[in-house]
Amino acid sequence: MITPDRLDAAVLDAAMGRALEIATRGPEGGPNPRVGCVILSPDGHTLAEGWHRGAGTAHAEVDALSHLAPGEARGATAVVTLEPCNHTGRTGPCAQALIAAGVAEVYFAVPDPGAVSSHGAQTLIDAGIPAQLGPRREQAEKLLADWLRDARRGRPTVTVKWATSLDGRAAAADGTSQWITGPDARADVHLERSRHDAIAVGTGTVLADDPALTARGEENGAPLAQPIPVVFGHREVPADAQLHSHPRELITLSGDDLAADLDVLWKRGIRSVFVEGGPSLASSFIRAGFADRVLVYVAPTLIGGPKLALTDLGVDTIDDQHRLVFTDVQHLGSDLRLTAEPVAPETPSTHPTSGAH
Ligand SMILES: NC(=O)c1ccc[n+]([C@@H]2O[C@H](COP(=O)([O-])OP(=O)(O)OC[C@H]3O[C@@H](n4cnc5c(N)ncnc54)[C@H](OP(=O)(O)O)[C@@H]3O)[C@@H](O)[C@H]2O)c1
């Protein structure tokens, strides 16, 4: 922790604690972090507070400054939970706003790892304003854990989900797969859909199942949020497909280069993708090392035949297997819900877990 030159460490610590507290008022998830800001007078009194209310709205520093009269922040200390941003998005760079307001110094709890938004501290320093790490980094890292993970990775987090019979089949020989699992598991899938920014399938699934890809049901009395539907493939989505009635606009991607496609989704503000199959698309995501989480609903039923839940994963020899660890196991009605994650963090390479035993 940095000892402030001008302010008492306890005052700075309390201000950062308050900034972290008000940061939690912002919305969770989505492309923007939850950030809080407290502006302190030279003698350590709080002049203003601000927090970020979500994409397209003022950032925490700008929100705090908006409560002050022109010149009132001159000589003040800005205490922010995240390094002030440096890029002109929809709301303008915070580093410039702090410079324009005439603050004397800036403390932030976590550096911004974003490729576009980072280096705000350097901009402030170049303008003659000391900007440095302040207290409570661990607490701020915890608050921003998901956002920081996404920003450091620079691509959406991917969950690959499938429903399977006990013998690992995703469909019967004729391609029918509705339904393998029971109503409790299916209701859980709707909840999971609503917790992701986008939900993706391949054209094979669109043509076989005509899925609506909506999140149906309620949570805490409110209708579930609708993820953006994404279809991977070259074949056309039929004109009469249910997908065309989805409340969100459909995104279609070729799937030829999943890294490039994930980048397209990232740039559209999508931070989490729920890949719902089918087996070919799910396998491609796993093979490419993009499956950050695997969610499998297992029904106590036996189907047999050729329609396996996954296809080729690039595992020619057992040393190449994609090792996972179970992170959660639940009974849902008569089915099981299994969550697993790669042993080593997945990276965008072809054989991320190669060599893991
Ligand atoms: N049990 C389950 O959880 C579940 C879930 C979904 C589907 N299903 C069943 O699965 C069957 C359909 O299987 P499927 O494997 O054909 O479906 P799929 O994975 O949804 O579709 C495969 C198609 O997606 C396109 N695609 C685009 N990028 C791709 C990539 N990187 N890797 C692989 N494919 C890519 C290709 O089509 P283009 O030729 O158009 O490029 C490919 O032929 C149906 O019987 C369905 O009922 C089961």
Q: How confident is the model at residue 56 (pLDDT cuts 50, 70, 90)?
A: confident
List active site positions: 61
Q: What is the pLDDT of residue 357?
A: 29
Decide if domain 9-152 falls under CATH 2.130.10.10: no
113-159 pLDDT per residue, tens: 876 666 899 999 999 999 999 999 999 999 999 889 888 888 999 99
Number of Cβ within a 10 Å radius of residue 123: 19
Who has greater pLDDT, 277 or 339? 339
Answer yes or no: is the C-beta of 314 below 6 A from any ligand 1 atom.
no
Closest ligand 1 atom, residue 161 Cα: 3
Answer yes or no: is the C-beta of 284 below 6 A from any ligand 1 atom.
yes
Domain boundaries, the chain: 9-152, 155-342
201-222 pLDDT per residue, tens: 999 999 999 999 999 998 888 8
Q: What is the pLDDT of residue 1?
A: 44
- Assign residue 298 a region: left if phi > 0, alpha if psi is -120 to 50, beta otherwise? beta
Pocket test for ligand 1, best of 164, 199, 205, 335 (most atoms within 8 A of CB): 205
Closest ligand 1 atom, residue 163 Cα: 3
Spacing, Cα 233 to ligand 1 middle (Å): 9
- Specify the length of the chain in residues: 357
Q: What is the pLDDT of residue 88?
A: 64
pLDDT exceeds 80 at position 200: yes
- Cα–Cα distances (Å) from 344 to 70, 82, 350, 356, in that order, read 51, 28, 14, 8
Spacing, Cα 231 to ligand 1 middle (Å): 10
Among 149, 146, 179, CA closest to 165: 179
Q: Where are the beta strands (DSSP E) in 98-147?
A: 105-110, 131-133
Cα gap 165→183, rounded to integer Å: 15
User: 127 Cβ partners below 8 Å, 6+ apart?
Assistant: 95, 99
319-352 pLDDT per residue, tens: 999 999 999 999 999 999 999 999 865 454 333 3
Q: How confident is the model at residue 28 (pLDDT cuts 50, 70, 90)?
A: confident
Copy the structure tokens of residue 161. 């989900």
Answer yes or no: is the C-beta of 201 below 6 A from any ligand 1 atom.
yes
Find where tokens 């440095």 sit: 132
Pocket test for ligand 1, best of 206, 257, 280 (most atoms within 8 A of CB): 280
Find where tokens 């469909």 sit: 171
- Indicate the average pLDDT of the chain: 91
CB half-sphere exposure, 296, CA atoms < 13 A: 24
295-308 pLDDT per residue, tens: 999 999 999 999 99
**Residue range 263-283: mean pLDDT, rounded:** 95
Q: What is the pLDDT of residue 352?
A: 36
Report yes or no: 64 and 101 within 8 Å, Cβ to Cβ: no
160-195 pLDDT per residue, tens: 999 999 999 999 999 999 999 999 999 999 999 999
Asked whether residue 280 is marked as a ligand-binding residue, the answer is: yes
Q: What is the pLDDT of residue 353?
A: 34
Q: Which CATH architecture is the domain 155-342 placed in?
A: 3-Layer(aba) Sandwich (3.40)
User: 100 Cβ partners below 8 Å, 6+ apart?
Assistant: none
